[in-house]
């Protein structure tokens, strides 16, 4: 059965990689390579966002955390689902106006236009760091699935092989190639995870048996504490206001309607999906309490039978394969468009920009894989990265609703809050306090007084934003009139 499982998985990996490669012809310039030339429909947008939200952290990492503390593990993904709705409500118009009226294709580009070049450079660093942390868990999670099937304990080697495949997919397929197989990945991970969760509950004797056998804390959504839960949920949701995956998907949509519907659909799908690995994880806790928590998802599937092990392995790999290359492409595109062109080679041709992006993809993959091989928790890596990025989301919303926020106030508050968030995260979360809280305090302590001290009642950046919005709305009105 193990040979059959391995064969099925290898066929899937090779097949989806080839599909991505078939779209190489679409990548003749950086716009097509990085944003699919604004050609993605609703389902492709939804699959692209959903698959990146889920990834290895939403499957293996979710089940691992649920095994250790219960259903509260869902907040990492639920926070992202809420983030999809907040994105549409608060900042969708901001990114859309700058994309349609100013031709901007990345978050740092948008921040630079709204504030100044310092903020643009800072956002390059934020995007690179956050998405390298995101990516770091993907090859490691994949190696955990593939190594046993290949009959080896050398997960390090497998992780590097997985990274090599991701680099090829990102370099060749571009955004359209990644989105094209995203629908298949999403369908497999959703159906496979649902089947395993339902059968796992049935196998352990039902939900009532779970509740009677495990501590009540396992069924609380506020573990290990209310402060931690709020930080995870709020930090994740707010961070989506400056999330490159959702903005890239929005930039790649063939219409505003497709972007909105796709984002809504992705946000909705996240809520039932997050429960599936979590439920499987707590089922594993009941029947196999002494296993290593990181193997909870696969071990429970194996407990159900060899065929189910194949199903969950395929679902997890679909989640990882759908997100890994896209995360690398985000980092590559950010560096190429926001660092290489404006500061290093302003006269760069489209071909040079594409190759710069591909070079960065290779470097980022190597750095991230090294980071992931030394990490202890997939989900903690994700949550830490999201809370670092949440500072940027706070400043962006403030600048949109408070027209006085100056470039100086934005830059120094993002820098101060971001440094505190990173130091708190990499410092091991002193006093068991999540990075969001000290980072948000520092951010606001800098932002509010610096804004009040500004001599301009309306910042130049706010005026540029409003001008782009007005042009966009006038164009839309003219199209409706015709």
pLDDT at 34: 53
* Nearest in space to 214 (alpha carbons), one of 262, 272, 278: 278
Report the predicted TM-score, pTM, of the whole model to 2 decimal places: 0.83
**pLDDT higher at 272 or 126:** 272
pLDDT over 70 (residue 388): yes
pLDDT at 174: 58
- Residue 226 inside a domain? The answer is yes
- Average pLDDT rounded to a whole number, residues 324-335: 84
pLDDT at 114: 94
Query: Which of 141-150, 189-198, 425-434 is predicted most confidently?
Result: 189-198
pLDDT at 475: 85
Query: What does the alpha-carbon distance between residue 60 and residue 79 come to, in Å, rounded to a whole number?
Result: 17
Query: What does the alpha-carbon distance between residue 457 and residue 404 come to, in Å, rounded to a whole number?
Result: 5
Number of other residues whose CB lies within 10 A of the CB of residue 242: 29
pLDDT at 164: 92
- Residue 475 inside a domain? The answer is no
Question: Residue 140's domain spans which residues?
Answer: 2-377
Which own/partner contact pairs does 223-230 have at CB distance under 8 Å and 24+ positions apart?
223/69, 223/70, 223/72, 224/69, 224/72, 225/432, 227/433, 227/434, 227/437, 228/432, 228/434, 229/72, 229/75
- Average pLDDT rounded to a whole number, residues 70-77: 90
pLDDT band at 446 (very low <50, low <70, confident <90, very high): very high
pLDDT digits (tens, 9 = 90+) for 304-327: 988 888 888 888 787 787 778 878
**pLDDT higher at 62 or 172:** 62
pLDDT over 60 (residue 32): no
pLDDT at 252: 77
Please tell me what DSSP assigns to residue 28: S
- Residue 310 inside a domain? The answer is yes
- Average pLDDT rounded to a whole number, residues 107-136: 89
- Residue 127 inside a domain? The answer is yes
pLDDT at 371: 86
pLDDT at 23: 59
Share of the chain above pLDDT 70, in %: 90
Q: Is 256 exposed, middle or buried (0-12, 13-18, 19+ CB in 10 A)?
A: middle
Contact assessment for residue 56 and residue 316, using Cβ atoms and an 8 Å cutoff = yes
**pLDDT higher at 357 or 4:** 357
- Residue 448 inside a domain? The answer is no
- Average pLDDT rounded to a whole number, residues 228-256: 83
pLDDT over 70 (residue 254): yes
- Residue 105 inside a domain? The answer is yes
User: Which of 22-31, 410-419, 459-468 is the least confident region?
Assistant: 22-31
For every residue of 383-417, DSSP letters joined together read HHHHHHHHHHHHHHHHHHH-TT--HHHHHHHHHHH
What is the domain count for the chain?
A: 1
Mean predicted lDDT score pLDDT of the chain:
85
pLDDT at 176: 61
Query: What does the alpha-carbon distance between residue 88 and residue 250 come to, in Å, rounded to a whole number?
Result: 10
pLDDT band at 58 (very low <50, low <70, confident <90, very high): confident
pLDDT over 90 (residue 395): yes
- Average pLDDT rounded to a whole number, residues 148-174: 83
pLDDT at 180: 64
Share of the chain above pLDDT 90, in %: 36
User: Which of 164-168, 265-269, 287-291, 400-404 is the least confident region?
Assistant: 164-168
- Residue 198 inside a domain? The answer is yes
pLDDT at 379: 61
Supply 273's token pair.
């999906």
pLDDT band at 449 (very low <50, low <70, confident <90, very high): very high
Q: Is 299 exposed, middle or buried (0-12, 13-18, 19+ CB in 10 A)?
A: buried
Find the CATH number of the domain harbouring 162.
Answer: 1.20.1730.10
Contact assessment for residue 345 and residue 352, using Cβ atoms and an 8 Å cutoff = yes
Q: Is 399 exposed, middle or buried (0-12, 13-18, 19+ CB in 10 A)?
A: buried
The β-bridge partners of 40 are: 253
- Residue 429 inside a domain? The answer is no
């Amino acid at each position: 059965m193990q040979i059959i499982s391995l064969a099925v998985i290898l066929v899937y990996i090779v097949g989806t990689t080839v599909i991505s490669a078939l779209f190489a012809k679409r990548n003749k310039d950086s716009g097509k390579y990085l944003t699919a030339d604004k050609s993605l429909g609703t389902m492709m947008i939804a699959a692209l966002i959903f698959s990146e939200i889920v990834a290895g952290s939403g499957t293996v990492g979710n089940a691992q955390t649920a095994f250790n503390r219960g259903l509260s593990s869902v907040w990492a993904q639920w926070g992202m689902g809420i983030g999809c709705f907040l994105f549409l409500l608060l900042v969708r118009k901001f990114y859309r106006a700058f994309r349609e009226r100013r031709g901007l294709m990345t978050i740092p580009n948008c921040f630079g236009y709204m504030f100044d070049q310092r903020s643009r450079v800072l956002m390059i660093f934020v995007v690179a760091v956050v998405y390298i942390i995101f990516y770091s868990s993907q090859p490691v999670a994949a190696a955990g699935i593939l190594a046993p099937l290949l009959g080896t304990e050398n997960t390090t080697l497998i992780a590097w092989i997985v990274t090599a495949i991701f680099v090829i997919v990102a370099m060749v397929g571009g955004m359209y190639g990644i989105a094209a197989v995203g629908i298949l990945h999403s369908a497999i991970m959703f159906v496979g995870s649902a089947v395993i969760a339902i059968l796992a509950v049935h196998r352990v004797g039902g939900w009532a048996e779970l509740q009677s056998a495990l501590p009540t804390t396992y069924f609380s959504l506020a573990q290990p504490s209310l402060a931690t839960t709020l930080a995870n949920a709020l930090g994740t949701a707010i961070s989506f206001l400056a999330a490159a995956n959702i903005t890239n998907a929005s930039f790649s949509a063939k219409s505003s309607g497709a972007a909105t519907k796709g984002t809504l659909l992705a946000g909705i799908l996240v809520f039932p999906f997050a429960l599936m690995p979590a439920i499987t994880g707590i089922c594993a806790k009941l029947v196999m309490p002494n296993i290593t928590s990181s193997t909870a998802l696969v071990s429970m599937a194996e407990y159900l039978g060899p065929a189910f092990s194949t199903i969950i392995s395929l679902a997890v790999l679909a989640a990882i394969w759908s997100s890994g290359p896209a995360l690398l492409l985000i980092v590559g595109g950010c560096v190429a468009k926001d660092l290489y062109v404006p500061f290093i080679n302003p006269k760069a041709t489209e071909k040079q920009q594409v190759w710069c992006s591909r070079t960065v993809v290779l470097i980022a993959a190597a750095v991230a894989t090294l980071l992931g091989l030394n990490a202890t928790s997939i989900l903690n890596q994700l949550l830490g990265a999201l809370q670092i990025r949440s500072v940027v989301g706070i400043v962006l919303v403030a600048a949109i609703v408070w027209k006085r926020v100056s470039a100086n106030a934005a830059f120094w508050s993002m820098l101060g809050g971001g440094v505190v968030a990173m130091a708190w995260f990499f410092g091991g979360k002193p006093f068991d306090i999540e990075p969001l809280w000290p980072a948000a305090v520092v951010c606001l302590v800098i932002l509010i007084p610096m804004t009040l001290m500004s001599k301009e009642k309306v910042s130049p950046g706010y005026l540029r934003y409003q001008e782009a919005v007005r042009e966009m709305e006038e164009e839309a009105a003219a199209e409706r009139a015709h």
